[in-house]
Chains A and B, each alone.
Chain A
Amino acid sequence: MEFFRAHVLVCGGTGCTSSNSEKIKQEFEAQIKKNGLDKEVKIVTTGCHGLCAEGPIVVVYPEGAMYTMVRLEDVKEIVEEHLIKGRLVKRLMAGDKDSQDVSKSLENVDFFKRQVRIALRNCGVINPESIDEYIAYDGYKALAKALTEMKPEEVIAEIKKSGLRGRGGAGFPTGLKWELTAKAVGDQKYVLCNADEGDPGAFMDRSVLEGDPHSVLEAMAIAGYAVGADQGYIYVRAEYPIAVKRLEIAVKQAREYNLLGKNIFGTGFNFDIELRLGAGAFVCGEETALMTSIEGHRGEPRPKPPFPAVSGLWKKPTLLNNVETYANIPVILNKGADWFTKIGSEKSKGTKVFAVGGKINNTGLVEIPIGTTLREVIYDIGGGIPNGKKFKAAQTGGPSGGCIPASRIDTPMDYETLKELGSMMGSGGLIVMDEDNCMVDIARFFLEFTVDESCGKCPPCRIGTKRMLEILEKITSGKGEMEDIDKLELLAKNITASALCGLGQSAPQPVLSTLRYFRDEYIAHVKDKKCPAGVCKSMMSYVISADHCKSCGICAKNCPVGAISGEKKTPYSIDQEKCIKCGACMEKCPFKAIFKNA
């Protein structure tokens, strides 16, 4: 075995890869070679650390120094200073730059210190393309334990005891789902993994697959043992090429080590996994549509009952869990349900990964105990709202969820509370909005997504959401009538009641929840023809304050449509007929003489 005095971990998640981490890794390799350090320093590609806004991220061990926003030209410095001279490159370091113990430098970083990484435990730590590294971190130990020390019903009992609930959306108790599938009668059963992450902005499943693919394979094998299935499928979207590649490598390695295949651990248990690539339709994240798609048909939901546990893929009893749910399984078996139940809230155990985005400083992935308040997520972990703006609301659950208004910022984020508030946990998308967001426009945005992604099978979703969108467009363009709000509510109520699948039924949620908390904004649009946040273009205009205008002409130069005119020494003015309300003038005005008139 080779030993290295230092390891350089370069993040290979999608975020960092997009900001050049691949090249950075190559540059490290070149520099290491140039300095003759190949035998001393090892370069490793890892999964995501979560702090995507600060990428590309490089972590150097044994010190554990995390370098953020590393550029190609920084590599030489890190190699020469840190790896050769042993001096930290403080200007690139995250966290406490002056910490005596570098390994503790991140402990006080708010973004990390409140996180409890269970599902993401190996992301950013191990090389996801190495099964040996996974095994070194207790990988496949839980599978061995299950197969050699536990009966299937004991595995199920442990999962039930852990209180783990589905992390994909609805929060159905995982152990119960396993039990139902185990009890179902069938000559063939299947275990499926839903890796068709579709909520806009959510990417925790991608991170797990990219950073720790073996944890999902191991969990699926455990599930197969528990429910009596010998075949698994991972339905993963083709838009996740890195995840697909790493899954393919992981499956191959697991087969080579006989951790998948026949007679695993010599126990006579057989289990294999194949990948199925989805074309990216949102609806294929719905369980029955996912199965229809695997079967080779157009991805459309089918009515339930029968439920998948009884009649799922090819009408056989089928267990379907999402990536994050699976990622919890090996840890639960290794550390025990009792350990797991100590984390989280009373009814919702463990952690949840949130993809935090929108108007927030630390955009990225965070894994927190369920029940952490929204305030902690936004202000402590997320670093607050940029430019000192006021928090207005947060959308959870993506297009199927709803918003939590500022008045409920101390809400613990768990399945029940979010549901009571008219939102949902969903897959963990968390979009933060500030005072500059128009809530009617937000509802319109989410509905536009649903209309686009509706499969078209049932009229309530196919036509109903379209009509709702048309009404919202009418309102945001200043042509709304009070009757339109009633129509929205009537449609929302009936689509919720009668759409075929969960996606259709939840499609009106963004409208219902904004109507619940921000009805006055709707009324302002309709009655006063005003958009209080100044977002809806038809209801606002840019004006130049004659008092502040210094007639510099910069605004006119920057106007893309030539709507601004003026002469020296007299204030400039905007031709409202020509203005396209892009806001370029306001942004460029050095004297803050241009403002929005909402």
Chain B
Amino acid sequence: MDTEMVNITIDTRKIQVPKNYTVLEAARHANIDIPTLCFLKDINEIGACRMCVVEIKGARSLQAACVYPVSEGLEIFTQTPRVREARKVTLELILSNHEKKCLTCVRSRSCELQKLAEELNIKDVRFEGERINHPIDELSPSIVRDPNKCILCRRCVNMCKNVQKIGVIDTNERGFKTIVGSAFNKSLADVPCINCGQCITVCPVGALKEKDDTDRVWEALANNDLHVVVQTAPAVRVAIGEEFGMPIGSRATSNMIAALRRLGFKKVFDTDTAADLTIMEEVTEVVERIKNGGKLPVITSCSPGWIKFCEHNYPEFLDNLSTCKSPHEMFGAVLKSYYAEKMGIDPAKIFVVSIMPCTAKKFEVQRPEMASSGSQDVDVVLTTRELARMIKEAGIDFTELPDRHFDDPMGEASGAAVIFGATGGVTEAALRYLVELLEGKPLKKLEFEAVRGVDGVKEATVEAAGMKIKAAVVHGTGNARKLLDRMKSGEAQYHFVEVMACPGGCVTGGGQPIQPSQVRSWIDLRAERAKAIYEEDESLPMRKSQDNPAVKKMYEEYFGHPGSHKAHELLHTHYAARANYPEE
């Protein structure tokens, strides 16, 4: 389709741009940099912060480039003295009400406000005055909110409300007293927040961050009585490099393993091994439900944000959820049972750390159901960002590390497990086993393209042994709502549904490295990181969960068979409806 073009003049340069462009897009097209702050493409286009103001010929006041539509003959001036002064004054005003503890801020040097102050050559804040002063909300196990650093750009609000369709934060009060918060100023811990952490990944400053648990890990590592082991989720390895200046979409599996060793973990395991275990259990569950007329579709349970979302908003689907614990929780249970037995270590002395792309897992590990091994199956969850901070603190040069591999036993994982990190990955991994199981012969083509990619709702119908298996994949709870509502009305029916709470799945989870708006507005992080995930899959000799020798051995030596009683005891869980705003 040909896009209609319009002629515009920008800083005296005459250019042609598509008619549906904003001034900001047109400027980008002309390689003219306009500073932005609140803008985040597709998520926050509200023209609020006024940093991107430009002069438009014929307009009385300055206009926000991020929302101003181009039109034939439009004349734009992006760098006049009036524009420069307005941007500076506005930025100084924002800075005057910002807690400028930059040296000790988690976002120092990755802060969009700090960068803007540097770029606009702010030497002094001329308009200091009263600052808002609110308590920090750190009651949530996942997310810490510091209103005093908040610049009210509303990215988090619109991410939560419009993309995730959760809406537990919004603007309260007005004018100078405006504050982003929950209803009745409740803590995030007391509202139906699902802890997905998407708000953190869009925050331009340090007003939103994960609950930092690195000290607990340092402490454990220093305790010689403990056997401290670590496992890493698939999405971590394709993103952590960004924290050390590697390009987006770099695979850094080996560097990550080596760094973890240097930090002093006794064993470095791969959550993917447990992902393979999950596929064995989950597909068995699917087959059983199909055969025995059980509740269909089976909906995946790997994403703890999704689980909490379902418990709050769609309790009628709780029986559809797979009873499988999420992979790292399975691994935790395995480590504190099978592994402990095999290695002759007291399970009480095993300290399991999970490196996750996820903030919701910090909530998940605290769930009382996640303690089938006697104590909590996993002791601490660190996000990708926290691990990067530990590596930096330890003075490890991440980019210059020797080749390392995951530890045995249980050091092997399939490509099917790796792709858990991208939306559609769990479904594809499950299909690689399910189809083979039903047909009783090896799969010819391993790739199920229909479930890949960043479309909000993906569907696939796969034929196996004369049966049509219908699967659906959604990512982002906003998309989940759409699908669940259609399922509720009977409009859509499936055998298998994959839900990931975060848009894009785990590669763009709430615990992943944060890319500024200037990057993520124009590059699809979901696709770039997923590309690395699929490369990793292809590079592996073993690409199906059912082929994983470590998993096979686990069943032989310990669990018996998938879905066994012992497997249920250790690897499965249950769910319960949660009230949204319980009366006190």
Contacts and interface: CB of A to CB of B under 8 A. Distances in A.
A498 B62 CA distance: 5
A162 interface: no
Contacts of B64: 303, 500
Contacts, number: 104
Interface string A29-67: 000000000000000000000000000000000000000
A293 to B, nearest CB: 13
Given A303-B47, A500-B48, A463 B176 contact: yes
B43 to A, nearest CB: 16
Given A303-B67, A458-B48, A500-B48, A467 B178 contact: no
Given A456-B175, A456-B176, A463 B46 contact: no
A311 B177 CA distance: 31
B127 A491 contact: yes
Interface stretch (B88-96, B249-257, B560-568): B88-96
Interface residues of A, number: 32
Contacts of A302: 46-47
Interface in A319-364: none
B378 to A, nearest CB: 40
A76 B437 CA distance: 100
Interface string B66-81: 0111000000000000
Contacts of B82: 497
Given A303-B68, A494-B85, A505-B61, A459 B49 contact: yes
Given A456-B152, A463-B94, A463-B97, A497 B171 contact: no
Contact of B53 (A451, A453, A457, A498): A498
B209 interface: no
B99 to A, nearest CB: 14
A419 to B, nearest CB: 12
A486 to B, nearest CB: 10
B4 interface: no
B50 A463 contact: no
A384 interface: no
Contacts of A456: 152, 171, 173-178
Q: Among the interface residues A454, A457, A463, A500, which one has the most CB atoms of the partner chain B within 10 A?
A: A463
A458 B61 CA distance: 14
A462 B178 contact: yes
B126 A305 contact: no
Q: Please provide the 5 A-B residue pairs with the shortest distance between their CB atoms, ordered closest to farther.
A: A456-B178, A454-B175, A303-B47, A494-B89, A463-B93
A460 interface: yes
A455 B50 contact: no
Q: Among the interface residues A470, A487, A498, which one has the most CB atoms of the partner chain B within 10 A?
A: A498
Nearest to A505: B61
Contact of B170 (A298, A453, A497): A298
Interface residues of B, number: 36
A491 B177 CA distance: 20
A450 to B, nearest CB: 9
A454 B173 CA distance: 10
A491 B97 CA distance: 15
A371 interface: no
29 contacts: A281-B174, A303-B63, A306-B69, A457-B46, A457-B48, A459-B151, A459-B152, A462-B152, A463-B93, A463-B97, A464-B89, A466-B129, A466-B130, A466-B176, A467-B96, A467-B129, A487-B126, A490-B126, A494-B85, A494-B90, A497-B61, A498-B53, A498-B61, A498-B62, A498-B89, A499-B50, A500-B48, A500-B50, A500-B64
B130 A470 contact: yes
Nearest to B151: A459
A449 to B, nearest CB: 11
A454 B174 contact: yes
Contacts of B68: 303, 305
B86 interface: yes
A303 B22 CA distance: 13
A514 interface: no
Contacts of A490: 89, 126
A496 interface: yes
Given A454-B176, A458-B49, A464-B127, 6 more contacts: A456-B175, A456-B178, A459-B151, A470-B130, A490-B126, A494-B85
Contact of A491 (B50, B89, B178): B89
Given A303-B47, A491-B127, A460 B175 contact: no
A149 interface: no
Q: Among the interface residues B46, B68, B69, which one has the most CB atoms of the partner chain A within 10 A?
A: B46
A459 B129 contact: no
A452 interface: yes
A281 B178 CA distance: 14
Interface in B4-59: 46-50, 53
B542 to A, nearest CB: 52
A239 to B, nearest CB: 17
Interface in A431-475: 451-460, 462-464, 466-467, 470
Contacts of A453: 174-175
Interface in B129-180: 129-130, 151-152, 170-171, 173-178
A490 B86 CA distance: 9
Nearest to B127: A467
B204 to A, nearest CB: 13
Contacts of A496: 61
A145 B81 CA distance: 55
B175 A498 contact: no
A467 B90 CA distance: 12
Contact of B94 (A455, A459, A466): A459
A572 to B, nearest CB: 40
A281 B174 CA distance: 10
Contacts of B97: 463
Nearest to A496: B61
Given A298-B170, A305-B68, A470-B130, A498 B50 contact: yes
Contact of A463 (B69, B96, B170, B174): B96
Given A303-B67, A500-B48, A494 B86 contact: yes
Contacts of B46: 302-303, 457
A460 B50 contact: yes
A284 B61 CA distance: 21
Contacts of A460: 50, 89-90, 93
A533 to B, nearest CB: 26
A473 to B, nearest CB: 10
A424 to B, nearest CB: 13
A109 B22 CA distance: 59
B185 to A, nearest CB: 16
A462 B46 CA distance: 16
Contacts of B50: 458-460, 498-500
A281 B173 CA distance: 11
Contacts of A452: 175
A497 B67 contact: no
Contacts of B175: 451-456, 462, 466
A466 B53 CA distance: 21
Given A456-B177, A463-B176, A494-B85, A500 B47 contact: yes
Q: Among the interface residues A303, A451, A459, A494, which one has the most CB atoms of the partner chain B within 10 A?
A: A459
Contacts of A467: 93, 96, 127, 129
Interface string A267-309: 0000000000000010000000000000000100011011000
B49 to A, nearest CB: 6
